[in-house]
A and B are shown apart, each in its own frame.
Chain A
Amino acid sequence: METVLKHMDCRNFAAVDVAKGICHRTKKLVLADAERCEHCVSTQKCKFCLHFVAAEQYLGTCNAVPEQPMTYPDLITVTCEKFTAALPRTGNQQQDATG
């Protein structure tokens, strides 16, 4: 399902708290839930990973390891060695796998 991506899905978004962050490009505070700008570069999250299988809302499984553990779409995975981008991670046609 196609959804609008947000500032919090951007690699240049440095989280300050659960509601906002600082954009590394502009150095300004931006709201996490506001729609991303045209300079957005998608960050790594489970929902953008080839190994992610969406399940019920906000949940899914990780197929990168044999145990196939539970995971969730918005888990940030910039440190995950198994992350494999499922889709092109720039541009405005990005798909969200939150189900």
Chain B
Amino acid sequence: MKPMLPTILSACLSLCCTCASAAVALTTLPDRERVMIRFEDSGQVLVEEARTLTLDKGTNQIGFTWLGVDIDRSSIQLLGAGGVGFNVIRATYPPGQENSLGWEVSATAAGAAQVRISYLLQGISRELSYRAVVSEGKDPRLSLRVYQRLNNASGENYDAAALRAAFGDLRDSPLASGEIRQQLSARFLEVPFTKRYIYDPAKGERVMVDYVLSNSADGKLGKGLLPGAKMRIFQQTGQSEAFLGEDVAKPTPLGEEMVLHIGDSKDLTVRRAQLETRQEVVQRDSDGHVVLWHQLTDMRFEVENFTGDEKRIELDEHLDGEWDVANPLQLLEKRIAPEKYEEAKGEADPAGTLERKDADNLVIHLTVPAGRRVVLTCTLRRLNRH
């Protein structure tokens, strides 16, 4: 059985303007002249068709019917774009025809009217993806490509369509029903990035590796919002590439950092220990019960760098209530035997810093020289408990 092709039809009927009871006659069935498909960030797809209608002076009936496609009926607009002027008198959705709409328009003269018919169409989707390749060498850079994958499952054929999107360039091309088309939408070369090593006890005993890009002119990006999408990162290895990992990038506005978690580091280790917790009494009541106190916790962090390069790492601590940090001390050590360390006297030891990231998070920034271990001790004070 031959399948019925889904089609969007437009029929223009003219109605004798002197006598409403006169029979209507089909005067023209205009084809689409141009189609623009716009992919919005919200996921909606707006289709605009340009057509030329031949109108009679007076009242004209324009039928718009769609078969096998899912159009948001309430979104359909008919707008004049040139030629004979007209007013839409009324729009009618005929009984029993969910996929049909009739406009009654009043034309000021007989002749051709250029119109745009726009509507929201379901079934066409767009998916963005990034592909990044890290160059070789001491100062590696990223080449970053953005692809837009267009999937036309709407049931409608578009032989030639102007494709537009809120982000990136799309080339005008046909988009047949059932077709998936992937276009290279944007390309950024020589993009600098930094690696960030993060230890977060809430995420397990591991050191996460993040790649951080800056959406700015200095960061060789900065052309606008970078949309959220999956990014796959590869390492250039001679003539081939190795896959490093992937992450879903969050939408990144101008001036912000795009942070991509690509995996864990095995050659940078952290051991976190809670050595002792004690109470410092602030106030007792008349019966001698403690009613206000500080809770003090002695902490020890051991960060060991098994690589041949100096690494910077962030140790996250999650705290609540009122808190501060007392007595932070840092010691640089070198391994002299398995499980045995001694102080690395006379070696360069960049001082770490403590940062109150916000009311609930402390970040300890440490720099660990190649092949060395840094031991940090401090006291976390949770104040004014009651």
Asked if chains A and B come from one complex, the reply is no
Binding site for A on B (CB under 8 A): none
